[in-house]
Amino acid sequence: MATPVLVYGWYGKGNAGDELMRLALEQMLRLHRLEPKFVDGINEFDVEASAGVIFGGGSILQDQPVWSPNAASMLLGLGDWAPYRPVFYVGVGGETEIGEHHEAMIHRSPVVAFRELDIPDLAYWHASDIEDACKAMAREPEGVLVIPNVEVLPSHNDPHWVHESWEHFKNEFAQVLDRIVERGHRLSFLSMCDAPKKRDVWAAHELMGRMRHRDNYHVYQPQKDNPLWIAGLMQSHKAVITQRYHGIILSEMAGVPYVSISHHDKLRLTHPHRGPDMSYYGVQKDPLWGLVETATLSRLDPHCPPRSVYDDVIKRVVTGIREWK
């Protein structure tokens, strides 16, 4: 009989990167007879019904978990509670400050596996499945796929520097997009996040509106039941320009040349990172265009780390559950 475990992360929010990690965790846990329940909030009833709690993956360590007071007491060992269930960290990002509650749980966790430092990003679990996943979209590569990021799109109450950064970026990047069109490349966009309050399509439309060659450029939406479809979409393009961390991961897996534009350390420090990177805050049209043009003429071999690195971590989770008292 499978052992129930709770898995906490940013799941069910319409973010393709997080759904890739969810699918990877689901598959690797079930291989080791662990039955995951994915949640974006924790209550005491779920803790009671599980044999352990996994935090991962992604950039979740800087924020306090969304949990009920009783669940927090059970996992932290507050008040009259001793820690009630073992807590594990699998594929979490360590590029930000760690909140005090996570720091306390990490200190006593039987398994802590940071992405990049201890294991590859969880999405790389799918690397060996890329060939089959991409067959449906197999065609001669053409054009450039742009993956914007709504996280840099300011709202009216953001600080002035956030608005200045976005305005500068839009002006420079729109000129690069115009050059893509002028050189005869097909231009399209991918909205990797479709969360109700974080839709990448909003950023895409602002960029289109700043172009001289305005048009009804296609904005692809990920298939919710098949997040690996994005790899096939990438392979149908000559190059990718990504402002999303998992845009880098998927380009590496799919073997598609890419240029990343980093507003956050997690993009800049991604490993492997065989495509060039330019800081969002210092984008200049001519150097960026040079990188994009080179990418359209380049080749990239798919990156496929062995699944055994993940199996080793999950085996340690199983052992941690078995030995918990």
| Residue ranges of E strands in 228-276 | 239-242, 258-262
**What integer pLDDT is reported at residue 130 of this predicted model?**
80
Q: Among residues 52, 39, 27, 36, which one has the least CA distance to residue 317? A: 52
**What integer pLDDT is reported at residue 20 of this predicted model?**
94
What are the residue ranges of CATH 3.40.50.2300 in the chain? 3-120+306-323
What are the residue ranges of CATH 3.40.50.2000 in the chain? 127-296
Conformational region of residue 184, where left means phi above 0, alpha means psi within -120 to 50, and beta covers everything else: left
Q: What does the pLDDT look like over 196-205, one tens digit per residue?
A: 999 999 999 9
Q: Alpha-carbon distance 255 to 260, whole Å? A: 15
**What integer pLDDT is reported at residue 136 of this predicted model?**
58
Q: How far is CA 161 from CA 62, 166, 231, 281, in A?
A: 23, 9, 35, 10
Q: Alpha-carbon distance 144 to 241, whole Å? A: 7
DSSP 5: E
Type of residue numbered 123:
A
Sheet containing strand 87-92, strands side by side: 34-39, 3-8, 53-55, 87-92, 111-114
Q: Among residues 99, 121, 119, 91, which one has the least CA distance to residue 7? A: 91
Report the DSSP pairing between strands 219-220 and 277-279.
unpaired
**What integer pLDDT is reported at residue 316 of this predicted model?**
97
For 127-296, CATH number? 3.40.50.2000
| CB proximity list for 41: less than 8 A, separation 6 or greater | 8, 66, 67
Distance from first CA to last CA of the chain, Å, rounded? 20
**What integer pLDDT is reported at residue 97 of this predicted model?**
86
Three-point CA angle 74, 56, 82, nearest 5°: 15
| CB proximity list for 202: less than 8 A, separation 6 or greater | 150, 153
Q: What does the pLDDT look like over 171-202, one tens digit per residue?
A: 999 999 999 999 999 999 999 999 999 999 99
CB 317 within 8 A of CB 118: no
Rounded to two decimals, the pTM is: 0.94
**What integer pLDDT is reported at residue 101 of this predicted model?**
93
Give the CATH number of domain 3-120+306-323; options: 3.40.50.2300, 1.10.443.10, 3.40.50.620, 1.10.150.20.
3.40.50.2300
Q: Could you list the pLDDT tens digit for every one of the 325 residues in the chain?
A: 789 999 999 998 999 999 999 999 999 999 999 999 999 999 999 999 999 999 998 889 998 999 999 999 999 988 776 788 999 999 999 888 899 999 999 999 999 999 988 999 999 999 988 877 666 566 788 999 999 999 999 999 999 999 999 999 999 999 999 999 999 999 999 999 999 999 999 999 999 999 999 999 999 998 877 888 999 999 999 999 999 999 999 999 999 999 999 999 999 989 999 999 999 999 999 999 999 999 999 999 999 999 999 999 999 999 999 998 6
